Amino acid sequence: MQNHNLINPQQSVSDTQFGQSYETAYQDFQWATAAKTLLGERAESNRFNQFSVCIARHAKASPTKTALLWHGKDNVREAYTFSALEAHALKFAQALKKLGIEKGDRVFIYMERIPEVFFSTFGILRAGAIVGPLFSAFGPEAILDRLQDSQAKAIVISSTLLPRLNAVRQLLPDLEHVIVVNRNPESNDKLKNKEYCYNALVEAESATEAGLPEITADCSSVMHYTSGTTAKPKGVLHRHQAVIAQAETSRMVLDLRPETDIYWCTADPGWVTGTSYGMFGPWALGCTMLVYEGGFDASKWYELIAFYKVSVWYTAPTAIRMLMKAGDNLPKQFDLSTLRHLCSVGEPLNPEAILWGKAILGRVFHDTWWQTETGSMHICNYPVMPVKPGSMGKPFPGTEAAILSDDWHSLGAGEEGHLAIKPLSPSMFKAYWQKEALTQSRFKNGWYITGDRARRDDDGYYWFVGRADDVINTAGHLVGPFEVENALVEHPAVAEAGVIGKPDKDRLEIIKAFVSLKVGYTPSEELAGEIKQFVRKRLSAHAYPRELSFVENLPKTRSGKIMRRLLKARELGLPEGDLSTLED
């Protein structure tokens, strides 16, 4: 926390779009002004939406400008202008309308990172429906939870993922339409009764807004599911107005300049970073964006930066640590000199990663903190502000942050407590889907309680301490222990299960499961492996226990709740704390 660790800004104040000192910007900032600068008169009337702001207005003003540079995992390359995106999205919106999709219906997207993800996202938004993005690594159990909870009416799915939906299809009576994207058109004939071919639907339509409903800033837009401690994931509902905050943070934090930048966000659109900053913010500004279909691969990533001349890069600490592991010689084989500004999100960014970036890439990673619920960056390191390695930075202008005590009163500098945010940003979530009491429970004394613990130092920088609940952060993805426990007990051998996050030097945390077996089963390595794979397949490749221990009994409270805190303390050799509620 000492100032001697300060890294001074790499760009001079006059060069950045922040344009002034942090303090001045914080003082002067007004959301209404930001909205007006972005949208002019339409800002006040609320007559704008994420399709009009991110796509349609650029299609009109600069139709031939490239919006999307897509790089397939087999090195196929495709490029789409803003007007091409507009046409694809409008045709899909018309197709949805024809299928009877109405304002507020939930339409999910379940595909690998292919261009149709982007076309259909904006098509769904223009049709007035709510987009439900699903991560392509999800298994049948994970998609069932989300489609069921939201009573989804339609899903746009890639043919490769169709078997996972079919495994649970009979449990989804509300799911009327399954729209299949197949990039290998020959097999489209195999579609069954209630499945539509995406291409055929879209080809039958024309690219017009005629007949589509009016969508305004306060209409619901996107709903990502996020994990909690004691229940299955809940839907976090956002509104079109979020685009104001997504655009403004893209300008002031990512420092995006549409005329010159090539921007790359490595997050998958199944997660909020991949929509807020892998679509909305950058496209609201009219930026050209790279999307890579494949996953992490150190030399491929460097190659992409060099080939596409990426200048602004938004990624995650786990990826940065993996790049560090791949060695310092690798990046020297590529021309990475176009990189101008680097940002990170999702987990604490360790000081070593920042120092490594500075030494090896010649650029400092700027940490940003936010959540699915906040919809846009809320505590950040700004291009004009010195970076204190290890700190998340300071509240975004137009927001307010605080550290609160257990009875929700503001604490002073140096004190650790609950990280809280004043719900001032237009991107703040509207509600948890059909969970009014849970939504209310996150607000105390006018503050939104984030579920994180943190500290503020004398200079106003915020420092992440940990989660206030049992939610696990593995490689930047939140996983609720309850979901994993549920999947574990569905295995025929498992009687009971308790799940914790175990610190890990690469992934921040890994999921560790403690399992007691039913009578007739005996612990073995083989069974452990089988149970892990069972969860991996049903739930998700990112949410299965990498470690599993068999136990006779799980520690429980007298009311029968598994004491994860105690499992964790025992695993880590920490003090066991108050055991008064432990059953005998």
Q: Which of residues 417-446 bind ligand WT7 (CB under 6 A)?
A: none
**Among 141, 255, 261, 452, which residue sits at the site for ligand WT7 (rule: CB under 6 A)?**
452
Give 216: exposed, middle or buried? Use CB within 10 Å, 0-12, 13-18, 19+. middle
**CA dist 305 to 215, 264, 335, Å?**
37, 8, 8
> Does 105 help bind ligand WT7 (rule: CB under 6 A)?
no
Q: What does the alpha-carbon distance between residue 512 and residue 503 come to, in Å, rounded to a whole number?
A: 10
Q: Which two tokens stand for residue 454?
A: 């943190």
**CA dist 492 to 488, 496, 551, Å?**
9, 11, 16
Per CB under 6 A, the segment of 179-187, 251-259, 345-353, 358-366 that binds ligand WT7 is 345-353
- Is the CB of 182 or the CB of 372 nearer to ligand WT7? 372
Nearest-approach distance from CB 357 to ligand WT7, in angstroms = 15
Q: Which of residues 221-250 bind ligand WT7 (CB under 6 A)?
A: 226
> Does 367 help bind ligand WT7 (rule: CB under 6 A)?
yes
Per CB under 6 A, the segment of 207-215, 368-376, 424-432, 550-558 that binds ligand WT7 is 368-376
Q: How many residues bind ligand WT7 (CB under 6 A)?
A: 21
Per CB under 6 A, the segment of 26-34, 78-86, 105-113, 365-373 that binds ligand WT7 is 365-373
Nearest-approach distance from CB 269 to ligand WT7, in angstroms = 12
Per CB under 6 A, the segment of 168-176, 332-340, 343-351, 482-490 that binds ligand WT7 is 343-351
Nearest to 26, CA basis, from 379, 399, 410: 399
**Among 473, 474, 486, 540, which residue sits at the site for ligand WT7 (rule: CB under 6 A)?**
473
Question: Hey, what amino acid is at 24?
Answer: T
**Among 121, 221, 266, 273, which residue sits at the site for ligand WT7 (rule: CB under 6 A)?**
273
Angle between helices 115-127 and 82-98 (to 10 degrees): 60
Q: What does the alpha-carbon distance between residue 312 and residue 257 come to, in Å, rounded to a whole number?
A: 9
Nearest-approach distance from CB 385 to ligand WT7, in angstroms = 15
**Among 182, 288, 372, 425, which residue sits at the site for ligand WT7 (rule: CB under 6 A)?**
372
> Does 272 help bind ligand WT7 (rule: CB under 6 A)?
yes
**Among 149, 255, 347, 470, which residue sits at the site for ligand WT7 (rule: CB under 6 A)?**
347
Nearest to 463, CA basis, from 367, 382, 371, 363: 367
Q: Hey, which residues does 321 pair with through a beta bridge?
A: none
End-to-end CA distance of the chain: 44
Radius of gyration (C-alpha) of the chain in whole angstroms:
24
**Among 68, 90, 114, 345, which residue sits at the site for ligand WT7 (rule: CB under 6 A)?**
345
Question: Hey, what amino acid is at 369?
Answer: W
Closest-CB residue for ligand WT7? 372
DSSP states of 62-92: -TTSEEEEEE-TTS-EEEEEHHHHHHHHHHH
Nearest-approach distance from CB 68 to ligand WT7, in angstroms = 22
Note the residues at the interface with ligand WT7 (CB under 6 A): 226, 272-273, 345-348, 367-372, 392, 450-452, 464, 467, 473, 478
